[in-house]
Chain A
Amino acid sequence: MRIQQSHYRPRSRNGWIAVVSFLGLMGLAQPPIVHSLANRIEPWILGVPFLYAYLLAVYIAMIGVLLWVQRRGL
């Protein structure tokens, strides 16, 4: 089968949504954001230090994207 275009570029709208959202969330868990805006103990989130809770939320969101991708059959 002939290669139509690079496999590094998504070919569907859902593909773009998946890639952009996953990488965007990963960016929220990387420097500089994690070492600046997120790098604090307060405010406490449900009794848990801010940095820890923030990262947990980002990780859960990233897993959510993966599950969405699988359900869409991408």
Chain B
Amino acid sequence: MEPWVVATTLIFLYLVLALVLGLIANRRSEGDLEDFLLMGRKTGFIMLYLTVVATYHSAFAFLGSGGFFYTHGIGFWSAGTWTVLVGAITYVLGSRIWALGKRFGYITPADLMADFYESDAVRIIVAIVSVLFTILYIQVQAQGLGYILSAASGDRISFELGTLILLVVAAGYLALGGLRAVYWTDVLQGVWMYAAVWIGALVLTYKLFGGPLALWRRLAAERPDLLTLPGPEGYFGPGMWFGMTIALSFGIVLQPHIMIRYYSATSGRVIKWLGATTPIYLMTLYIPAALVGLGGALVMPGLERPDRIFPLMLIEHAPPVLAGLVLAGATAAAMSTLDSILHSNMTVLTRDVYQRYIRPEATDRHYVWVGRALIALLLVVGYVLSVRTYAFLVTLVMLSGSGALQLLPGILGVCMPGKRLMTRTGVLAGIAVGMVTLYIMLFVNPNWLGVHHGVWALGANFFTTRAVSRFTAPPSVATVERIHGEIESFVYADRS
């Protein structure tokens, strides 16, 4: 049987399985909004672990990261810094976000910030930032899915059709089963993705080079420029290395689809275990990615789209069944992030916009159906964005991360009580200045002085937030005591 038949069949079998899980999740649904959006805040450790890691690692893990190792060499091993830092952020910040969500009924990032800063303007701005920058992520994942399916089918399924099929399936099981469907499919996707990357990479490495150690020796002999910094194109200088550490740790954790996972945990202890253990999965997934990207630079040099190195090597060198299973794993990786972003955008638009300002007194059943309609709308937007522009995947992820990163000063003001209070005017001014700086450092003077654009934007944001907060009215004493008091109790009175 031809490789493309095996690969495409396995991917479609996986899609059918995902839809079946969505149907079952729909039957188990309790019908209320908190169940549809947060699975009733009942997620235990194993499910939460797998959904967080599956959501964090996306098409990027299969495509973008291999492409980056291929083009820029060992510098992308900097990924270990941000994946481990994510664990620490989850432990410290994630547990506090959980505690506040549990105590005060938060569902979205805007709920948390609007409550503390006593501001509808903060709610609206946070909702806009949350949706705007994660829509870019939909584009990244959808494009990744299009590449995977077109590569798996030997271009018999076009990029556009592949993108559409996979978007429709993800939107389908989400609309059926809400967050429960997302989590169940993420459990499957988290396991499959990890196994697929490792097995695929090791099979290729042994077949083409005789094993990882032989690959390293051959790289040192033929392409030593790939094994040192800053890499062949000078990308991984000090500024970019440090900047990616910050942007791809805080920037991803603060995106709504990750923050919503914190809210959905059954206890603070689960979040702390998550923080301590998710880096093991997140960091080690880049080990086989390095083998694929660096090995690909030796055997398939000069690719116009380095992002496709993993699927291309699989189709050409791996047994058809293995190639199919790994590509189905790649599909799982992209869909696990895509469905989470569709869900989080739907949640923000339903809760922070529709429920808050359009129909505040409707029933949960009404809001669930509004959410389903929004999923359909997001599907259309995501598809249009995916097929009309083509961009380097990793760069899109960085843009997405740096946008959500601008929420950091405001969130720290809520979750980390300190000597000075941030104010709503300060937070809003900081976000505005951060966004303008981000634009300048991305498009006018890209990565000025070799420093990552996200770092510039965050620095300008922090400076502005603190400066403006000094001269503007803080939240009321009652609100500060209520929310910071809850944090103090949670962290130091062991109420997790």
Docked pose: A47 CA to B493 CA in angstroms = 49
Interface residues of A in 5-56 (CB under 8 A from B): 6-8, 11, 22, 26, 29-32, 34-35, 39-41, 44, 47-49, 51-52, 55-56
Q: How far is the CB of A14 from chain B (nearest CB, A)?
A: 13
Q: Do A49 and B74 form a contact, CB below 8 Å, given A1-B485, A30-B242?
A: yes
What residues of chain A have their CB less than 8 Å away from a CB belonging to chain B? 1-4, 6-8, 11, 22, 26, 29-32, 34-35, 39-41, 44, 47-49, 51-52, 55-56, 58-59, 62-63, 66-67, 69-70, 73
Q: Do A55 and B416 form a contact, CB below 8 Å, given A4-B488, A7-B491, A62-B84?
A: no
Is there an interface contact between A67 and B276, defined as CB atoms closer than 8 Å?
Answer: yes
Among residues of A, the one whose C-beta sits closest to the C-beta of B290 is: A52
The range of chain B's interface size is: 35 or more
Docked pose: A11 CA to B279 CA in angstroms = 25
Q: Which residues of A contact B238 (CB under 8 A)?
A: 31-32, 35
What residues of chain B have their CB less than 8 Å away from a CB belonging to chain A? 74, 77-78, 80-81, 84-85, 87-88, 91, 212-213, 216-217, 219-220, 224, 227-230, 237-238, 241-242, 245, 272-273, 275-277, 279-280, 283, 290, 416-419, 484-485, 487-489, 491-494
Is there an interface contact between A66 and B87, defined as CB atoms closer than 8 Å?
Answer: yes
Is there an interface contact between A1 and B241, defined as CB atoms closer than 8 Å?
Answer: no
Q: Which residues of A contact B216 (CB under 8 A)?
A: 44, 47-49, 52
CB within 8 A of A63: which of B81, B280, B418, B489? B280
Is there an interface contact between A3 and B74, defined as CB atoms closer than 8 Å?
Answer: no
Q: Which residues of A contact B237 (CB under 8 A)?
A: 35
- Can you list 23 A-B contacts (CB < 8 A)? A1-B488, A3-B417, A3-B484, A4-B492, A6-B418, A30-B241, A34-B241, A35-B230, A35-B238, A35-B241, A39-B228, A41-B220, A41-B227, A44-B216, A47-B216, A51-B229, A52-B227, A59-B279, A63-B87, A66-B276, A67-B277, A70-B91, A70-B272
Known: A35-B237, A49-B227, A67-B276. 17 other contacts (CB 8 A): A1-B489, A1-B493, A3-B485, A8-B416, A8-B418, A26-B81, A26-B85, A34-B241, A35-B241, A55-B80, A58-B80, A59-B283, A62-B84, A63-B276, A66-B87, A70-B275, A70-B277
Q: Which residues of B contact A35 (CB under 8 A)?
A: 229-230, 237-238, 241
Docked pose: A32 CA to B488 CA in angstroms = 37
Docked pose: A20 CA to B263 CA in angstroms = 29
Q: Which residues of A contact B417 (CB under 8 A)?
A: 3, 6-7
Docked pose: A2 CA to B275 CA in angstroms = 27
Give the 5 A-B residue pairs with the shortest CB-CB distance, closest first.
A31-B238, A70-B276, A47-B213, A59-B80, A6-B418
Q: Which residues of B contact A3 (CB under 8 A)?
A: 417, 484-485, 488
Docked pose: A59 CA to B491 CA in angstroms = 26
Q: Which residues of A contact B81 (CB under 8 A)?
A: 26, 29-30, 59
